[in-house]
Amino acid sequence: MLPLIEKLNLFSVVLASQSPRRTELLKNLGLTFQTFSPEIDEEDHNLHHSPAELVCTLSVRKAEKARDRFQHHLIIASDTTVVSEGKILNKPGSQQEAALMLNSLSGKTHSVLTGFAVLLPGKDEPFTGFSETRVTFSSLSHNEIEAYVVTGSPLDKAGAYGIQDGMVSAFISGIDGDFYTVMGFPVNAFYQKMKSILL
């Protein structure tokens, strides 16, 4: 096991997310934790923040909400957003909205930003970071978009797609940056930040 993960596992760790992607990525590192889904208001904040500030701010809010319940734990929280042509694309509210989002991504390059926040026991100030990855979609037909939307998978994902979904592998022509940032957690950025703090 990696020395940093051994050290993290000395804490009681809470992942402030029910995302199966984030759970999978952190378990793959060897981290032991429990999950908790904090309820926060994620709307109307994008008018006041850059996308990078937004994902970090929302990550901090999730972590602080989790601390209300888990006061003596190490808390990890994260947030992902998609930015296309200056517009932030969060989770679609319907299949129709998902189809519109995917159509707007068709044949273009967009950015996926994932931020994280870590609250250590006994520390008031969170540690934060983020990663940005550029993703290029090939041109998508109406039928291709419809075939993916009807699976229901786009509805719980920023930008209306999950890079780990098998069908999406046929849509992506290029990735510039960290794959795991697009999947939902910037593993390398988190790992390097925690190394600088704990080792």
HSE-up of 5 (CA within 13 Å, CB side)?
A: 13
CA distances (Å), 184 to each of 57, 65, 96, in order? 16, 20, 23
Report whether 81 contacts 88 (CB < 8 A): yes
DSSP annotation of 85: T
Return the structure tokens found at 47: 């008018």
To the query of whether residue 79 is one of the catalytic residues in this protein, the response is: yes
Which of 79, 156, 165, 176 is flagged as catalytic?
Answer: 79
E strands in the chain: 13-15, 34-35, 74-84, 87-89, 109-119, 127-137, 172-176
Residues taking part in catalysis:
79
